[in-house]
Amino acid sequence: MPKTIETQYGQVSVADEVIATSAGYAAMECEGLAAMASRRQVVDRLTEVFGRDNPGRGVEVRFADGSLHVDLYIVVNYGVNIYETAQTIRQKVHYLLSDTVGVDPTTINIFVQGVKF
């Protein structure tokens, strides 16, 4: 379900995939992040087999009661402060979605799925 933004000139609809891709790119720029964890293993595996990039991997976007909720599933590098890494990712994703895409997420949940050694 796309997020619709009303302007004085009309509507702008932003697809869930755009929000997921933007959030994924923002998260991948953060230090301490090893990878995004797959939530849709079959789809993500097929994407890899065909050689396509999947920046929305590990990102789920939900709209509930008019609010935007973003869930990120991550793998962190061994030895990093997990809390600080998660906070950095949360801040970067929030800034990018608010400033660049024009949507303000109500919640950004981060689920650490593993540690890469």
Domain count for the chain: 1
116 Cβ neighbours under 8 A, 6+ residues apart = 34, 35, 75, 76, 77, 78
Does some domain include residue 6?
no
What pLDDT sits at residue 114? 95
Assign residue 47 the CATH number of its domain: 3.30.70.1350
Three-state secondary structure readout of the chain: CCEEEEECCEEEEECHHHHHHHHHHHHHCCCCEEEECCCCHHHHHHHHHCCCCCCCCCEEEEEECCEEEEEEEEEEECCCCHHHHHHHHHHHHHHHHHHHHCCCCCEEEEEEEEEEC
Between CA 97 and CA 25 the distance in angstroms is 11
pTM of the model: 0.85
Q: What is the pLDDT of residues 96-115, one digit of tens each?
A: 999 988 899 999 999 999 99
Does some domain include residue 44?
yes
Instruction: Please list the residues that pair with 59 across neighbouring strands.
Output: 72
Does some domain include residue 43?
yes
Give the closest residue to 28 by CA, choosing from 106, 105, 103, 85. Answer: 85
Q: What is the pLDDT of residues 68-82, one digit of tens each?
A: 999 999 999 999 999
- pLDDT above 60 for 49: no
Does some domain include residue 3?
no
Considering 27-31, 39-43, 49-53, the range whose residues carry the highest mean pLDDT is 27-31
Does some domain include residue 7?
no
Instruction: State which residues form the domain around 82.
Output: 15-116
User: What is the mean pLDDT of the segment spanning 32-53?
Assistant: 70
Does some domain include residue 4?
no
**Cα dihedral sign for 39, 89, 71, 5?**
negative
